[in-house]
Amino acid sequence: MTDTAVYAAGAVIWRLVEGKLHILVIHRTAYADVTLPKGKVDPGEMLAETAVREVFEETGIRVALGIPVGVSRYRMPNKRQKIVHYWSAQATDDAIRASRFVPNKEVAALEWVTPKRARTYLSYPVDLEILDAFLKFVDDGVLRTFPLIVLRHGKAVSRDSWSGPDALRPLTARGTRQAHAIVGPLLAFGARRVISSDAVRCVTTVTSLAAALGKPVRRTELISQDAWEQGRADIRAVVGKRVRSGKPAVLCSHGPVLPEIMSEIALATGTLRGSYLGSASTLDFAAFSVVHLSATNPGSGIVAIETHTPKE
- Clarify whether residues 25 and 72 are in a common domain: yes
Residues 109 and 243 in one domain: no
In a domain, 158, yes or no: yes
Shared-domain flag, residues 175 and 225: yes
Residues 149 and 101 both lie in one domain? no
Residue 112 included in any domain = yes
Residues 149, 286, single domain; the answer is: yes
Cβ atoms of residues 23 and 115 within 8 Å: yes
Residue 303, Cβ neighbours under 10 Å: how many?
Answer: 22
* Domain at 206, CATH number: 3.40.50.1240
**Within a domain: residue 1?**
no
In this structure, the answer to whether residues 234 and 294 fall within a common structural domain is: yes
Q: 150 and 134 in one domain?
A: no
Domain boundary residue among 139, 166, 201?
139
* Amino acid 2: pLDDT: 55
Task: Decide if 262 contacts 160 (C-beta within 8 A).
Answer: no
> Which of 87, 109, 139 is at the close of a domain?
139
Cα(64)–Cα(147) distance, rounded to whole angstroms?
A: 10
What is residue 6's three-state secondary structure? strand
Whether 171 is in a domain gets the answer yes
Strand partners, 291: 148, 305
In this prediction, residue 312 carries a pLDDT of 73
- Residue type at position 198: D
Q: Is residue 226 part of a domain?
A: yes
Q: Are 280 and 307 in contact (CB under 8 A)?
A: yes
User: What distance in Å separates the CA atoms of residue 277 and residue 7, rounded to the nearest whole number?
Assistant: 27
How far apart CA 162 and CA 174 sit, in angstroms, is: 17
- Are 61 and 163 contained in the same domain? no
Domain membership flag for residue 84: yes
Q: What is the 3-state secondary structure (H, E, C) of 141-159?
A: CCCCEEEEEEEECCCECCC
Flag whether 270 is in a domain. yes
Rg over CA atoms, the chain: 20
186 within some domain:
yes
pLDDT at 274 over 90: no
More confident residue, 44 or 13: 13
Give per-residue pLDDT as tens, 209-221: 999 999 999 999 9
> Do 112 and 230 lie in a common domain?
no
- Measure Cα distances from 1 to 75, 288, 309 in Å: 16, 18, 12
- The 10s digit of each residue's pLDDT in 186-244 is 999 999 999 999 999 999 999 999 999 999 999 999 999 999 999 999 999 999 999 99
With beta carbons less than 8 A apart as the criterion, state whether 63 and 90 touch: yes
Task: Note the pLDDT tens digit of each residue in 116-135.
Answer: 999 999 999 999 999 999 99
Residue 87 near residue 11, CB atoms below 8 Å:
yes
Residue ranges making up the domain that contains 45: 6-139
| 242 and 221 Cβ atoms separated by less than 8 Å | no
Q: Give yes or no: residues 99 and 185 share one domain.
A: no
Assign residue 85 the CATH number of its domain: 3.90.79.10
pLDDT > 90? residue 306:
yes
pLDDT(92) > 70: yes
Residues 69 and 105 reside in one and the same domain: yes
Q: Are residues 183 and 127 in the same domain?
A: no
Total of domains in the chain: 2
Last residue of a domain, one of 74, 106, 139: 139
As a whole number, the mean pLDDT across the chain is 95
Residue (of 216, 151, 223) closest to 186 by Cα position:
151
pLDDT for res 275: 77
Q: Which of 304, 299, 154 is nearest to 239 (CA)?
A: 299
